[in-house]
Amino acid sequence: MSLEIIFLIIYFIAMAGIGFWAMKKGQQDSEGFLLGGRSIGPGVTALRLQSSSMSGYMFMGAGSLGYTQGYFGMWYALGDLGGGILNLSVLGRRMRKLSQILGSITSIEYLEHRYPSKWIRLIAAPVALFCMFFYVLAQFIAGGRGLEMVTGVSFPVALAIAIGVIVLYTFLGGYLAVAYTDFVQAIIMVVGMVWILIATLIAIGGFTKGNEAIGAINPNMLTMWGADLGFQGQWGVIIGALLVFSIGYMGWPHVVVSHMAMKKPSVARTAGAYSLIFNLLFIPGPYLVGMFALILLPNLANPETAIFEVADAVLPTFAVGIVMAAIMAAIMSTADALLLQAGTIASQDIYARFINKKMSDGQMVWVSRITVLALALIGFAIAAFEPPAVAAIVIFSTTVLGSAFVPAYVCAVWWKKANTVGAISSMIAGTAVSVLWQVSGAPEATGIDPMVTGILASTAAMIIGSLASQANHPVPERIVRALDETAKIGPIPTKMLIGQDALLAGQAEMAGRNE
């Protein structure tokens, strides 16, 4: 058994230990047990927001972009850097307040409460499920590739093991993946990445030397325009690259749900600062390591494995074990979080809402389990025979989610006139335009990224749809009231604003109305 595998096993046992300890600690009263998820502070909010969305793509897709396109890949990183702070500053506080007042539990249900119509959920849930499946697929492939490298078994076998462990993880989750584990994993991800980056820089003789060596291989790699300067002046593509992980991020149902779990609205502020620090430390690393892999390992068969191979080449043996274990664990926790969210959407937002309204809690769990198993099997079937490029599928699914949901989530809290008709048109237009644009090959023909056209279409549809239907479908009075409540800052004495107990909002509203 290789040293890496031993470390991998030790690591999983340690994570299980932390999870088990955390559960024991929270076990003392049943209230704490059930409310555990509602009291998330800024550190955990920020790191969860980041780590629940990044791992598979960052370790494979980002490395491969760096390896094949040089500094052009940094456009994605540069947008990504601000994704967390943008999300928390624009949506965080208001979404936390509004979801409390409307009593929403899932982020799709929240959309239906804000834009009352069953069509909202009927459209949003399948779109979210579809895109999240691709996102999970990316994690599966990354997990499989990592395990393939560590153990030396063939890819389909490694993939089957990785998916098996991930699915097991979702069942053991209560012991493993509580907030403490997520938090620890996010920190280990940063430490592991920074470690690889530093070791790489030492191996190539420093940042400047590395750039010079890359310049000697292909000077175009040092420009922001791609390996063959193909993106020079292609601002439609570049703006898309900048938008996809910054603005697009606000449309991910599985990410914005963490706003709803914050302890109090002001957590958004500190969490925003933490997320920027995390991003500055973590995000540039994979792109740079991927690029410098060109110097160390010029003949990689699969550029997606650049980071794994570089780690193997530059780190001391014991460190390879630790870092690889951290990467694998991060991939698994992301996949597990996504699968659980997909299970929730399938059981709560589709099955309970449309198929069986009197769903029992036992049935709810079974629908979730079947969904998770089905996604795992389909994922295996696709990834084992023809694994698509991780970067491509992640960017594609992010583009569709962003185009479909960004206006719906942003206008939900910032625009009082945004109504059901606007939201439905926006989701349909965003999904349809971004998918058709991509599938029809328009990005190559026009030089405009689907993220740009998708988000323009969904924003326009939101504005036109809402304004055109104001007379027939006004925003219901109680939602206007809730929005007033959400926006309220000025008239309440600032000293007293923050200490307010949001749980009383509804009762205060009802008592006030009838005084």
Partner 1 sequence: MFGLPTFTTVVILGVPALWVIYTAVFMWLSRGWKREDVEDNR
Partner 2 sequence: MSELVLRTLVDEDYAQSILQAKAPGLEVTSARLRHHPFAGFIFDVSHLAGRVGRTHALVDYYTGKAFISGPWQAADPDRATQLSPVQDPQWNTIDFDTARQKAKSLLATAALRRARLAWKGGVREHRSVNKVWKPNWVLDAKLDGKSYRIMVDGLNGGYFFIDC
Chain positions contacting partner 2, by CB under 8 A: 30-31, 33-37, 103, 105, 170-175, 177-178, 340, 343, 348, 352, 358, 360-365, 368-369, 372, 477-478, 488, 491-493, 495-496, 499-515
372 binds, among partner 1, partner 2, none (CB under 5 to 8 A by kind): partner 2
- Closest separation between CB of residue 266 and partner 1, Å? 4
Instruction: Say which amino acid occupies 51.
Output: S
37 binds, among partner 1, partner 2, none (CB under 5 to 8 A by kind): partner 2
Closer residue to partner 2 in complex, CB, 398/420 = 420
CB 66 within 8 A of CB 214: no
- In angstroms, the Cα distances linking 250 to 141, 243, 258, 329 are 25, 11, 11, 25
- Closest separation between CB of residue 463 and partner 1, Å? 25
- Closest separation between CB of residue 472 and partner 2, Å? 20
Q: Angle at the Cα of 83 (from 309 to 419), degrees rounded to 5?
A: 135
272 binds, among partner 2, partner 1, none (CB under 5 to 8 A by kind): partner 1
- Residues lying near partner 1 in the complex (CB under 8 A): 71, 74, 78, 81-82, 85-86, 89, 207-212, 215, 222-224, 265-266, 269-270, 272-273, 276, 280, 284, 494-495, 497-499
492 binds, among partner 2, partner 1, none (CB under 5 to 8 A by kind): partner 2
- Closest separation between CB of residue 232 and partner 1, Å? 11
User: Residue 450: how many CA atoms within 13 Å on its side-chain side?
Assistant: 26
Instruction: Say which amino acid occupies 69.
Output: Q
Closer residue to partner 1 in complex, CB, 284/303 = 284
Local structure of 209: helix, strand or coil:
helix
Closer residue to partner 2 in complex, CB, 36/236 = 36
Pick left, alpha or beta for residue 359 (phi over 0 → left; psi -120 to 50 → alpha; otherwise beta).
beta
Closer residue to partner 2 in complex, CB, 340/462 = 340
Q: Tell me, what DSSP letter sits at residue 502?
A: G
211 binds, among partner 2, partner 1, none (CB under 5 to 8 A by kind): partner 1
Nearest of 449, 436, 444 to residue 245 by alpha carbon: 449
- Closest separation between CB of residue 252 and partner 1, Å? 19
**Euclidean distance between CA atoms 416 and 475, whole angstroms:** 8
- Closest separation between CB of residue 276 and partner 1, Å? 5
- Buried (b) or exposed (e) across 212-247, using 16+ Cβ within 10 A? eebeeeeebbebbbbbeeebeebebbbbbbbbbbbb
- Closest separation between CB of residue 136 and partner 2, Å? 15
Closer residue to partner 1 in complex, CB, 224/352 = 224
- In angstroms, the Cα distances linking 330 to 142, 186, 281, 373 are 11, 7, 16, 20
361 binds, among partner 2, partner 1, none (CB under 5 to 8 A by kind): partner 2
- Closest separation between CB of residue 212 and partner 1, Å? 4
The whole-angstrom distance between residue 353's C-alpha and the CA centroid of its chain comes to 25
CB 151 within 8 A of CB 158: yes
CB 329 within 8 A of CB 12: yes
Closer residue to partner 2 in complex, CB, 103/219 = 103
81 binds, among partner 1, partner 2, none (CB under 5 to 8 A by kind): partner 1
Q: Angle at the Cα of 299 (from 293 to 300), degrees rounded to 5?
A: 70
Closer residue to partner 2 in complex, CB, 439/498 = 498
17 binds, among partner 2, partner 1, none (CB under 5 to 8 A by kind): none
Closer residue to partner 2 in complex, CB, 113/145 = 113
- Closest separation between CB of residue 79 and partner 1, Å? 8
**Euclidean distance between CA atoms 435 and 285, whole angstroms:** 30
440 binds, among partner 1, partner 2, none (CB under 5 to 8 A by kind): none
CB 192 within 8 A of CB 323: yes
- Closest separation between CB of residue 71 and partner 1, Å? 5
43 binds, among partner 1, partner 2, none (CB under 5 to 8 A by kind): none
- In angstroms, the Cα distances linking 378 to 200, 400, 406 are 37, 20, 28
Closer residue to partner 2 in complex, CB, 198/377 = 377
- Closest separation between CB of residue 338 and partner 2, Å? 13
Local structure of 40: helix, strand or coil:
strand
235 binds, among partner 1, partner 2, none (CB under 5 to 8 A by kind): none
Closer residue to partner 1 in complex, CB, 152/205 = 205
Q: Angle at the Cα of 410 (from 121 to 401), degrees rounded to 5?
A: 55
Q: Which phi and psi angles does 45 have, rounded to 5°?
A: -55, -50
Closer residue to partner 1 in complex, CB, 216/510 = 216
- Closest separation between CB of residue 289 and partner 2, Å? 33
Nearest of 87, 169, 65, 133 to residue 391 by alpha carbon: 65
Helix axes 155-176, 118-151, angle to 10 degrees: 120
364 binds, among partner 2, partner 1, none (CB under 5 to 8 A by kind): partner 2
Closer residue to partner 2 in complex, CB, 472/514 = 514
Local structure of 223: helix, strand or coil:
coil
Q: What is the CA radius of gyration of the chain?
A: 23
